[in-house]
Structure formats: structure tokens, C-alpha cells
Structure 1
Amino acid sequence: MKYLIDSANLDEIRALSEYLPIAGVTSNPSIVKKEGSVPFFAHMREIRSIIGKLRPLHIQVTATDYDGMMRDAEAVFRHVDEKVFIKVPVDFEGVKVIKALRRQGANVTATAVYGMDQAFMALEAGADCIAPYYNRMEALGVDAASVIGNIAGIIAHYGYETEILAASFKQPAQIDRAILAGAHSVTVAPDVLRGIFVKQVVADAVQAFSDDWTGLYGGKTLAELADE
């Protein structure tokens, strides 16, 4: 079970990586758009410098045809590094790209997955990761947890090495459901990650502990008591 940051914001990536057990970073064209007209490859290299070479960085192709997507992948390898996971949408052209990149030994994430049929095709094409869109499936009336659970079942049954990297979350409860359904990893926007910790009952409990301690020792911390 791993948490990735679904963002290209450098400040958020630095902060969340410092505080939370973050396993990597994912991006797509819409996420990059939020950062404005940044120098793309330099920006991706900076993300790589923040997370290091051992944590995965996922970058999505922008072309929509086979030749264009292959050129995009080569550009990423050339200008960022060859360890990057190339995100490829699972459409007719994309499956051909996934097969070709895997033959080259590249890391590939099959993205824009809305159903089991796409996922099964990506599995057979050899994708390293499959990214089902949780919230977007729910918005279409699809039981997203069931989809993830069924994909996980097929992976286990046939012994695929592919991992489920669930994406598209709008609230923490969706993350919980995806993990419980069998997602190996989740990639989450910074605001939703922070939302995990916004619970009034937790804040109330922490305040009660603080009030009780202050009543006993006048607000001194354990370290201050030890120094007396």
C-alpha cells in the first residue's frame, strides 16, 4: 500500500514528502496546466530532484497517435530520465504504445481506465501499473470499488506483476474504499491528502489531552519536565 502525490506543484511535493510517507509523484497535462506555462522538462527534473531516483515519477504522453506517443516517451527519457513511468491512455493507439514501450524495457502506467475491459487489455499488453479513475467512475454510476476488486482478483489469479495505481479521488473515503478493494497504490491530490487529517473529533481529542496535561503540569512538555 503506497501513497503518491498527484500534483506538479513543487512546494506541495516538497512539503508533503517531508511530512507523509510519499512513494512517488504522478502528473498529467491537466495537472501541469495548474502550474502555468512552466519550462516542462526542467520542472519535471526538479520534481525528480525532490523525490530522488528511487521513488517513481509518472509523466503522461500528450500525443494521441502511436508514433507521436512513442516520440513523447523518447523525449521524456532524453530530457528527464529513463526511469520515468510513461503514462499512456488505454485506447486503441495506446495499447500498441504500451506493448512497444514494454518491449523496450520501459516503465509504463496505463491510465484513463474507466472499466475492467480496458484494465484487462492493459494487463495483457504488459503495463507495470494500471490507473483506474475512482471518482470519475463513480460519477458515471460505476461501482469503482468493484472494478478495482475485480482487477485485483484477475491479477492475483493469473499471476500478473502489474500493480493497481488508483487515481481520481475527491474525498478521503474514496481512498479507503480503493485500498480495501485491492489497490496497491493510490495517487492523490494535495488537498485530498491534507483532508485525511481534517477531522473535528481528532482535533477535539488532541485538545482534551492537552487540557488534561496542562491541568497537571501547567503546560510543560515532557522534555521540559525531564530538564528540571
Structure 2
Amino acid sequence: MKFFIDTANLAEIREAYDMGILDGVTTNPSLMAKEGISGDANVRAHYKAICDIVDDKVSAEVISTDFDGMIKEGKDLAKIDDKIVVKIPMIKDGIKAIKYFHSEGIRTNCTLVFSAGQAILAAKAGATYLSPFIGRLDDISYDGLELIGQIVHIYGNYGFETEVLAASIRHTMHLVKCAEIGADVVTCPLKVITGLLKHPLTDSGLAQFLADHAKAASK
């Protein structure tokens, strides 16, 4: 399973990268705004700064919702760095744009996916990644993890090359369950990834080892 970090914060991206477990980054306009990044030139420069930290796969989202606008924006984003993956919304013109970018060899991430039907359309259009939003489905009393399993099963039936990128991951159990189900990628905040480190028995065991070492060293 690949780990992407869902942020525009450069310090968090560096921390995840330095851990040696980071495979990519996803961002969106909301995350950019959270970091105080605004204006086309500043946003593009920030994407480049992210690309300079990581090895590959930085999802950069288009703002347009019409085909021509998405194509123009997507091409501009792809020019920033070879690591850029163009993030396209799950709408009719978005599917058309994904098909176009696929034919041009530009990688895409189809975002805001909430159903298996949408997942099938994105795969047939040639999306590189598909982003079903688990947490947002849970918020409206749907089982987001069940959707991940359904999509993984369908893609396996037909050999679709699109990778399932589980998004809107809220906690470590979401992440672990996605691994069990067979999601190709998860994208989540840094705190979810570092949360995997934590277990009370690890903490108590380490404390005991250190205490025993201190006793032995004092003799």
C-alpha cells in the first residue's frame, strides 16, 4: 500500500518524507488556503516546492468545472513538474478531461467519488487514481469502507489499471481497514500516519527495558 499525505504544509511533508514511508502528496484549494497560499503564481510556486521535497506523485487540483478550462489548467499544472498528477472532479466534463489527459500521457486523480458507478466511469476513462471519500460517506451514515471494498472487487473483475486511492481518512482504523480491503493507496493527515506508531504495550515495554537497563548499569 502506498502512503500519501493530504496537506499543503511543507514541514509536515518533510517530516513524512524523512520517515521513509511517503509515496506522494495530495492537496486541494482548501488545504492551500489553510497555509495562506493564494494567487495563481503563489499556488504554482508552492506546488513546485512540494515537488522538490518528494520523489513523485503530487496531486494538483484544477478549479475549472468545464472541459476546456480543465484542459487548460491541467496542462499548466503538468508543466510545473513531472511529478504532478492532475486532480479532476467526478463530473461529466471531468470524465472527458480524464480521457483526454490519458491520451496525452498525463496522469490524473479523479476526486470526489462516492459511488461504485462513478468509479467505473473513471476507470474506463483512464484515470490513474480514483479517490473515494470514506469519511464524508461515514458522516452521512453510509459505510465508506464498504465502498472501497466494492470498488476493489469491481476493478479486480475487469483488470482496470486505475489505482484505488482511499481519501478522507479520519483515523488509524480507517487506514488499517483500507489495507485489509486492498486499497492501493491511502491519503491522510500526518497525524493518522504517525498514529500507527502508538500502542500502550510498546510504551510500557520500552519503559521497562529502559528501567532494567538503568538498574543493570548502576551495579
Which interval holds the TM-score relative to the shorter structure? over 0.9
Partner of 1:188: 188
Partner of 1:57: 58
Q: CA deviation at 1:157?
A: 1.3
Letter in 2 for 1:156: G
Q: Deviations over 1:176-219 (max 9, x none)?
A: 11121110111111222222234433222221221122222249
Letter in 2 for 1:74: K
Partner of 2:159: 159
SS at match of 1:141: coil
Give the share of equivalent positions with the same residue, in percent.
32
Partner of 2:139: 139
Q: Where do 1:12-161 residues align within 5 Å?
A: 12-38=12-38, 39-52=42-55, 55-78=56-79, 80-161=80-161
Contact 2:78 2:86 survives alignment (8 Å)? no
Partner of 1:170: 170
SS at match of 1:164: strand
Q: Counterparts of 1:178 and 1:31 in 2: how far apart (Å)?
A: 23
Q: Answer with 1 or 2: which has the greater Rg.
A: 1
TM score, norm. by length of structure 1: 0.89
SS at match of 1:131: strand
Partner of 1:225: none
Q: Counterparts of 1:43 and 1:86 in 2: how far apart (Å)?
A: 15
What root-mean-square deviation, in Å, do the aligned CA atoms of Structure 1 and Structure 2 show?
1.6
TM score, norm. by length of structure 2: 0.93
Q: Counterparts of 1:191 and 1:111 in 2: how far apart (Å)?
A: 22
Q: Where do 1:203-218 residues align within 5 Å?
A: 203-218=203-218
Runs of 5+ unmatched residues, structure 2: none
Q: Counterparts of 1:34 and 1:192 in 2: how far apart (Å)?
A: 19
SS at match of 2:23: strand
Q: Counterparts of 1:71 and 1:166 in 2: how far apart (Å)?
A: 27
Q: Deviations over 1:14-72 (max 9, x none)?
A: 111101411111111111111103511111111111113xx211111111111111111
Q: CA distance change for structure 1 residues 83 and 13 in 2, over 3 Å: closer, same or farther?
A: closer
Q: CA distance change for structure 1 residues 12 and 83 in 2, over 3 Å: closer, same or farther?
A: closer
Letter in 2 for 1:140: I
Contact 1:76 1:82 survives alignment (8 Å)? no
- Count residues with an aligned counterpart: 216
Q: CA deviation at 1:82?
A: 4.0
Partner of 1:7: 7
Letter in 2 for 1:138: D
Letter in 1 for 2:188: V
Runs of 5+ unmatched residues, structure 1: 220-228
SS at match of 1:72: helix
